[in-house]
Structure 1
Amino acid sequence: MKYLLSLILTYFTFCGFSQVHHVSINKDKNNPNEPTIAINPINSGDVVAASNIDNIYTSRDSGKTWRYTKASSKYGVYGDPVLDYSSGALFYAHLSKTPNKEYGAWFDRIVVQQILNLDPWQEKSYSVGYNNNKMQDKPWLSTDIVSEKSKGNVYVTWTEFDKYNSSAIEDRSRIRFSRYTPKTDTFSEGITISDTTGDCLDGDNTLEGATTAIGKNGDIYAVWAGHNKIWFDKSFDGGVSWNKDIEIAEQTKGWEMEMPNIFRANGMPFIQCDTERNIIYVCWADEFEGNADIWLKYSKDQGRSWSKRVRLNKDSTASHQYFPNMAINKATGEILVAFYDQRHSSLNVFYDIYLASFSVDSNLKNYRITQKSIPLPGADYFYGDYVDLDIQNNLLAVVYPTFSLDNSSDIEVALVYNFPSQYVNPTTKVNGINVLKNKDSSFVYINEQYPYSLKLKVKSGKLFGVKKKVIRIKKEDVQKDRDLQIGTFPFTSYYKLKYTLINLDNKQKFKHKF
């Protein structure tokens, strides 16, 4: 069966001057996701990003232009990328794809690479936490760039599964840790730092999402999620020994979040430390107030006591926010949290990237990062598990996936030079379009932002006796941020999607066969 869907959407818009610069950086049609980004703290002109599975993007001019390459390692490269600088040295962690092993079995270690040169690719690979019969998953990096006793150290945390996706009670998950020291140029043997264990089903009762932050004296603080709680631990000897885990927050409905129109979503925690005042910040997402929100707690006494929870998304809607990640502006002591936000989509079929800034001494602020709302890809399309951000020398970089109606994804970087003084709301008055499939039907939505006219044409052959259907809509009085379902059609196998968007500044055309 063949279907032709033609949309002509006409609207007028004013595109104001913005200091948020948006750059699409992926070069291959390989549907990237789970992006990560790092700015060189010594030279903020050097910006590096990565995404699933082995994509590397490099800029030498603070993100204005980018080069693309593929990562490689003797241990293989298979996703969950994370980047971090230790002084001027760049480290890149990811899952392994151990040669001569089958899928599942090849995730037998975490791989950390020290990148010696990006183009041409030169690196040194370290095997971390190798365990032949267990799966190693979801690494994250932090580096000590402030303390005297351990400056230059690199720390990696991750989850170990006895047997991934096993429901057997004897198969458990736990949080693991290893440290790199420049003097030895090696990573230590992996150790378990969680006092409890979780199951192996990769859900709310699994211990997942471990991240670390460094205090001014080289103290290491760790957080993770599991059993509907946020857990905290700390080490005062460079990670050799760890204190007893403490529960610092309830995570209502757990870290695995069932959000509409996306394959999966989570509220895993991130941690940062203001080393000037030794304040620890932890953010996460949960459904404490009925819908998904971004939350934060802080501690002024090295984690012995914690503040009440603070909601970071300043919206009054019942829409969802999730996938938080956090960086700290060392110049101001403010923490910056980037996250998915659906406040501009009444039916939760589009999303934006928002940024919250907060410190104990300043007011909470929200900044819209995306220019326009992005279509959600639907529940059958794997879209990754996180976004990332970094800020160095007042250069802010936020990286996230974008989705196109041709069923492809891209990676976009939003940059603000001299943040926050040069931030200007980047919003353009663009009406979004999304097509979401559900079983044997597809639903077409308009995200209303500005007056428009729409022509929708469907050709469906003799199916149900319908040969052609045309819908025309003209809207002058729109309800901002409303999602309007304009049609439902029996798209079951193959169809063509075509639409034209016209405004005062440009004309956009889209055509694709499905």
Structure 2
Amino acid sequence: MRKGLIAIATLALLFGSGSLALAIGSTDSRANQPQVAGDASSNTTARFPTNKQNEPTIAIDPVNGKLIAGSNDEQLQPPCGPGPVRGATAPANDCSFFPNVGTSGVYTSNDGTAWTNRGLLPGYSDNGGSLVSDGDPVIAFGPKPDNKGGFSFAKGARAYYANLASFATGAAEGNQAPELLAVSRSDDDGVSWLAPVVAAGGHGFKFNDKEDVWADKNPSSPFFGRVYVSWTQFRGSVFTFFGEPIMVTFSADGGATWSRPNQLSAAHNNGTVGGRQGSAVRTGPDGTVYVFWEDGDNKVGNKMVLASSTDGGVSWTRPSDIAPVRDIADPIPGANFRTDSFLSAGVDQRNGAVYAAWSDRTGGAGHIVVTKSADKGATWSTPRTVSATANGYAFFQGLDVAPNGRVDVGYQALTVLGSATTYGTGNAKVDSFYTSSNDGGVTWSAPAKVSSASSDPAASAQNNLRRQFWGDYNTLVSTDAAAYFIYTDSRTGAGCTAVDDYQHGVDGSGPATVKPAPPSVCPSQFGNTDIFVSKISP
């Protein structure tokens, strides 16, 4: 395990109406340890794309403090080129996803500093199942079902792992959706899992994507134990201009069955109303359910919105506005991985205050903003910048509210080392940062760096090599004693100038070149992106 211990005493920095100095301790460690489960040598022998992880998620057991993390994990994907899996005649530059090989990784920890790679989520095609795990993971804990039809933490907590899934070759019957949403359940903190249950399917014109999962774990809620999944559903139809509504479903029996989905937004894209993506779902202490997302309006710009339910997800309000958003640059100057401004959300379980955070470039470069509602989303405070310009171009934040009301935000930021008008090996670095508020978002601590080493985004790549790849999100979870920020990290990876040149040819910023073969022209650690967790003690 690669660990770094950082003792940070930050200088006072003015945020909002107060000046706060924060002394924190932070330890960062790799979650996908080793690179391939059960193979210690894989830390040095795994090659692209076997060494590729991104889009991490993390959750903590509220009973015993153990943690489960997950990510898009290609540890069972074969390396590029000819071999026993791709075959002797595979092109040397073929690094594509191999059919029927899953990508939903599972990692566990007792304390957030030492991690075990458990391999891929069981019950899928890798273990003889009819479904393939396709990543986009999210994890949440809730109470276990009891033997009386209710829920209780008396016997521990249940973890819910939601991810995209597709039918293995030959397993689909009839006109099935090309991408499903499935939920696995664990009652022993990720050591073992029940078989996945499909929470959202559909016909062949429905592609489900970018889901979130949440369990109501507040005993004061009338819907204690209920589990919710929200997502975007892409619909292929010339009559709706490939609509993409936000959907939600719930389970009242511990994830065994799921309700008929509710559509929370308009579906169409018609030149006035654009797309919708990046949903998040959370619950308040009174059982109110909140679903947030970014809504596109091609005439006036994008905005963050939410819908809510007071009857456990049976019926929903119409979407209401949170705030306008100006998406961050895609790509960020100095790099060429894709980006987004998907929000993160949290609810104070003491008083019901709702918080939302996202990356925004209103007025300049990317920065992280936080807004708060004290009236269940009816009104919102003016979004407040909580990142620091000196950190670089901020993106991919995570937010959570600790049981004691402390609001934690983690984010990454990119600094250009060379030129903002180009990209490639050594041109930029990415670091991870943390800030918090102990007074309901009125004042914020000076952001502190919590990654012990920087990452080169050029050490990452899509499987087709056409762009760098950093995923779509990071995640954070909080307790009274600590915050755990999980993020994509390439500190042990290496860039490849042949891939840089190829990418410049693809986007027209350089001459076209032949797609390279990483095994023969790239360093052995090319494409090695890992999952790191910073445990922060405020």
TM-score (norm 1): 0.71
Counterpart in 2 of 1:81? 137
In the alignment, structure 1 segments of 5+ residues that lack a partner are 1-13, 409-433, 443-489, 499-509
2:400 to 313, 316, 327: 327
Amino acid corresponding to residue 66 of structure 1 in structure 2: T
Deviation at 1:403, TM superposition (A): 1.6
CA shift for structure 1 position 267: 0.8
Secondary structure at the residue paired with 1:182? coil
Instruction: Check if 1:265 corresponds to 2:331.
Output: no
> What percentage of residue pairs aligned between the two structures are identical?
21
TM-score of the two chains, using structure 2 as the length reference:
0.68
Which string of whole-angstrom CA distances, capped at 9 and with x for unpartnered residues, describes residues 61-112 of structure 1? Answer: 4432424322133433111001111131010000012133699976442101
- Equivalent residue number for residue 369 of structure 1: 450
Aligned AA (1:144): D
Q: Are 1:21 and 2:27 counterparts?
A: yes
Deviation at 1:154, TM superposition (A): 1.0
Q: Structure 1 residues 290, 174: CA separation in 2 closer, same or farther (over 3 Å shift)? A: same
2: CA distance between counterparts of 1:105 and 1:351? 40
* Aligned residues of 1:25 and 1:66 also touching (Cα < 8 A): yes
Offset, 1:314: 2.4
Once the two structures are TM-superposed, the CA of residue 20 in structure 1 deviates from its matched residue by 1.8
Q: Is contact 1:149-1:218 (8 Å) kept? A: yes
**Matched residue, 1:275:** 349
Q: Which residue in the other structure is 1:63 paired with?
A: 113
Q: Does 1:357 align with 2:408?
A: no
Residues 289/282 of structure 1: CA separation in 2 closer, same or farther (3 Å cut): same
The amino acid that maps onto 1:376 is P
Matching residue of 1:336: 408
Deviation at 1:211, TM superposition (A): 0.5
Describe how 1:323-472 pairs up with structure 2 within 5 A.
Answer: 323-331=396-404, 333-342=405-414, 347=419, 349-358=428-437, 359-360=439-440, 362-365=442-445, 366-377=447-458, 380-403=467-490, 406-407=493-494, 438-439=500-501
Q: Deviations over 1:227-261 (max 9, x none)?
A: 11111111111111111111221111x47733231
**Equivalenced residues, count:** 409
In structure 2, relative to structure 1, the CA distance for the partners of 1:205 and 1:258 (3 Å cut) is: farther
> Of residues 99, 109, 117 in structure 1, which corresponds to 2:168?
99
Return the letter of the residue paired with 1:37: I
* Contact 2:282 2:347 (8 Å CA) reproduced: yes
AA at the equivalent of 1:83 = I
Cα gap change, 1:119 to 1:143, in 2 (>3 Å):
closer
SS of residue in 2 equivalent to 1:342: strand
More strand by percentage: 1
Q: Give the direction of change, closer, same or farther, for the CA distance of 1:242–1:266 in structure 2 (3 Å limit).
A: same
Secondary structure of the residue aligned to 1:266 is coil
C-alpha separation in 1, matches of 2:345 and 2:514: 44
Q: Which amino acid aligns with 1:325?
A: G
Alpha-carbon distance between aligned partners in 1 of 2:387 and 2:503, rounded to the nearest angstrom: 34
Correspondence list, 1:265-304, <5 A: 265-304=339-378
1:179-218 aligned within 5 A = 179-182=250-253, 185-194=256-265, 196-199=266-269, 205-218=274-287
Deviations 1:257-285 (A, max 9, x none): 33231421111112211121221111111
Greater shift, 87-96 or 67-76, is seen at: 67-76
CA shift for structure 1 position 226: 2.2
Greater relative contact order (Cα 8 A, min sep 6): structure 1 or 2? 1
Unaligned runs of 5+ in 2: 9-24, 37-45, 73-102, 124-128, 144-156, 297-301, 421-427, 461-465, 505-512, 529-538
Paired amino acid for 2:192: W
Q: CA RMSD in A?
A: 3.5
Partner of 1:149: 222
Q: Greater helix percent: which structure?
A: 2
Mapping of residues 486-497 of structure 1, within 5 Å: none
Shift of 1:189: 1.4
Q: Which has the higher Rg, Structure 1 or Structure 2? A: 1
Letter in 1 for 2:267: T
Checking the alignment, whether the CA contact within 8 Å between 1:198 and 1:226 is kept in structure 2 is no
Measured in 2, the distance between the counterparts of 1:110 and 1:440 equals 35
Say if 1:511 and 1:168 are closer, same or farther in 2 by CA, change over 3 A: same
Indicate if the aligned counterparts of 1:257 and 1:267 stay in contact, CA closer than 8 A.
no
2-structure distance, mates of 1:441, 1:234:
43
> CA 1:308/1:399 → structure 2, altered by over 3 Å: closer, same or farther?
same
CA distance in 1 between partners of 2:232 and 2:503 (Å): 39
Change (3 A) 1:223 1:346: farther
Of residues 30, 51, 54, the one that matches 2:104 is 54
C-alpha distance in 1 between matches for 2:227 and 2:165: 19
Please name the residue that 2:208 is paired with: 136
Alpha-carbon distance between aligned partners in 2 of 1:68 and 1:173, rounded to the nearest angstrom: 34
Q: In structure 1, how many angstroms separate the alpha carbons of the residues matched to 2:339 and 2:171? A: 27
The offset of 1:337, in angstroms, is 1.7
Pair 1:272–1:345, CA change in 2 (3 A): farther
Query: CA separation of 1:102/1:386 partners in 2, compared to 1, >3 Å: closer, same or farther?
Result: farther
Aligned residue among 298, 301, 309 for 1:235: 309
Distance 1:71 1:217 in 2: 33
Secondary structure, counterpart of 1:439 in structure 2: helix
